[in-house]
């Protein structure tokens, strides 16, 4: 129901020019919409922005999964491999299409715009990529072929209820405990978050489904903590 509501909300807002991902012929990978919203609202729950602005921000956090301009080559813009030879999969030499580059671009925009709606938009887009790299399958090196081969397990991990391994948002929120993160800059925060999700104990396999709940919880927690750090820091230097 909640997902349906979000879709209606997104599609109703014509000014946002939402375009549906061509999901029938494209590999789509995402922490699901509920996860992105839950992480964001939790992360900004003590922020100085108004409650209605928090919802606007959360809506912008979802958008990169639906806008054609943010998809790249088979969604490679939503991946970043901290330990890979290349930083995402995709066409050779296409160094721009990875989550860090998209994050940097929106971070730069958020820092230079003078009005709050635009700030929320670019901050929200940047947060999307930051949250994506808290998910181990978005940071595990591999080419398009490997990504397609792992598509099912990726999807099962993010949205699969089939194995009883995907907790409901309320469980993730209940299991959340804030932690401090060490980082030297907002770029470093991003890279360290990607490195965090590549810890060996978070490797997602079809043979370790009993660990998935715990992996999801720890990655969810990291996503919330990174979002909180990012947004609070950004708000302090915003130009509006």
How far apart (Å, rounded) are the C-alpha atoms in residues 6 and 62? Answer: 9
User: Nearest-CA neighbor of 122 among 56, 183, 73, 76?
Assistant: 56
Least distance in angstroms from the C-beta of 114 to Zn ion: 28
Least distance in angstroms from the C-beta of 30 to Zn ion: 4
How far apart (Å, rounded) are the C-alpha atoms in residues 54 and 85? Answer: 37
Identify which of residues 132 and 229 has a Cβ nearer to Zn ion in the complex: 132
Identify which of residues 65 and 140 has a Cβ nearer to Zn ion in the complex: 65
Span of 131-139, 140-148, 189-197, 225-233 interacting with Zn ion by CB under 5 A? 131-139
Helix/strand/coil for 47 = coil
Least distance in angstroms from the C-beta of 184 to Zn ion: 25
Q: Could you tell me how many residues of this chain bind Zn ion (CB under 5 A)?
A: 4
Site membership for Zn ion, residue 132 (CB under 5 A): yes
Residue nearest to Zn ion (CB): 78
Return the DSSP state at 87. Answer: S
Collect all residues with Cβ–Cβ distance below 8 Å to 120 and sequence separation of at least 6.
Answer: 49, 53, 56, 57, 60
Site membership for Zn ion, residue 156 (CB under 5 A): no
Identify which of residues 59 and 78 has a Cβ nearer to Zn ion in the complex: 78
Least distance in angstroms from the C-beta of 80 to Zn ion: 11
Angle at 234 between CA 132 and CA 98, to 5 degrees: 30
How far apart (Å, rounded) are the C-alpha atoms in residues 94 and 96? Answer: 6
Site membership for Zn ion, residue 78 (CB under 5 A): yes
Least distance in angstroms from the C-beta of 237 to Zn ion: 25
How far apart (Å, rounded) are the C-alpha atoms in residues 70 and 46? Answer: 29
Residues that bind Zn ion (CB under 5 A): 30, 65, 78, 132
């Amino acid at each position: 129901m909640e997902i349906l509501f979000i879709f209606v909300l997104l599609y109703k807002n014509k000014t946002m020019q939402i375009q549906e991902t061509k999901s029938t012929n494209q590999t789509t990978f995402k922490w699901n919409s509920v996860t992105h919203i839950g992480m964001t609202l939790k992360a900004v729950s003590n922020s100085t922005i108004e409650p209605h602005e928090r919802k606007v921000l959360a809506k912008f956090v979802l958008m990169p999964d639906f806008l054609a301009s943010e998809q790249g080559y088979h969604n490679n813009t939503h991946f970043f491999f901290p330990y890979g030879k290349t930083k995402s999969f995709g066409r050779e030499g296409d160094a721009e299409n990875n989550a860090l580059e998209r994050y940097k671009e929106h971070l730069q925009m958020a820092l230079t715009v003078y009005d709050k709606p635009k700030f929320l938009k670019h901050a929200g887009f940047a947060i999307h990529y930051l949250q994506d790299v808290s998910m181990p399958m978005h940071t595990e090196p591999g080419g398009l072929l490997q990504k397609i081969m792992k598509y099912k397990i990726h999807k099962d991990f993010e949205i699969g209820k089939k194995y009883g391994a995907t907790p409901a948002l309320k469980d993730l929120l209940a299991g959340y405990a804030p932690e401090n993160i060490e980082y030297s800059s907002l770029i470093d925060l991003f890279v360290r978050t990607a490195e965090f999700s590549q810890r060996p104990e978070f490797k997602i396999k079809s043979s370790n489904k009993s660990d998935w709940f715990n992996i999801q919880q720890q990655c969810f927690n990291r996503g919330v903590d990174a979002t909180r750090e990012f947004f609070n820091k950004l708000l302090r230097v915003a130009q509006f």
